[in-house]
Amino acid sequence: MLHTTFARLKEEGACKESYLKFARHKGGVSKWGKDTPFGLDEVLEVCGIDDALWCLPFTVEPAGKIARLFACDCAERVLPIFEKSSPGDMRPRQAIETSRRFANGLATQAELEAARAAAWAAAWDAADAAAWDAADAARAAAWDAAWDAADAAWVAAWAANSAAARAAADAARAAARDAAWAANSAAYSAANNTEREWQAERLKQYLLAVEIKIGDDLTN
């Protein structure tokens, strides 16, 4: 279990809103005690994953191992995306494996730095263009289809010499554009929310010292 204190979080510049929210949860800083430890699992439960992760460097106990293993788990979940776009490039996977071994005292600092450099090189080679290309393609496809339909309506309206119909077609173009962007944004938000839920549960397992099987739930 990892713990921190109100005094440490205030010293490190904790978010005022989150600090006060958690203080209210504990009945006030004075009542709880500014130097009385509390668990990060409680911070996670009350304030969420972002605040719990922010607290990781400011714990009473060393948090490096948990932080590194948690980061490896998160990175491993997106490996299929990279490896699909860059088949055969094992540098990111090897970097994750090396980082896990380092966290468990089974790899040297030199090995870790070499693996990190290789992973960065792989990331720059890919430049995450594949993900952006996929998103842009989805937007473009939706936009093209909507524009084609609206354009056909506009041409028909012009042929019929109907200003009202042309205005309606222009409005349809704008609506289709907005819908395409909204759909993309909604898909992103849904995926992001799902991933954040997974991260919160994974971090909770580490904080509560629940046994974790490496690679478990990586596709869920």
Percent of the chain whose pLDDT exceeds 70: 67
Q: What six digits make up the tokens of 191?
A: 């995926």
Mean pLDDT of 33-41: 97
Which of 31-45, 86-100, 114-128, 133-147 is least confident?
133-147
What is the pTM assigned to this prediction? 0.72
* pLDDT digit string, tens, across residues 169-198: 556 556 656 666 676 677 777 778 888 899
- For 69-94, b/e burial (b = at least 16 CB within 10 A) is bbbbbebbbeeeebeeebeebebbbe
Task: Quickly count: other Cβ atoms within 10 Å of residue 7's Cβ.
Answer: 13
Tell me what pLDDT residue 217 has. 46
Q: What six digits make up the tokens of 175?
A: 């609506």
Q: How confident is the model at residue 131 (pLDDT cuts 50, 70, 90)?
A: very low
CB 177 within 8 A of CB 143: yes
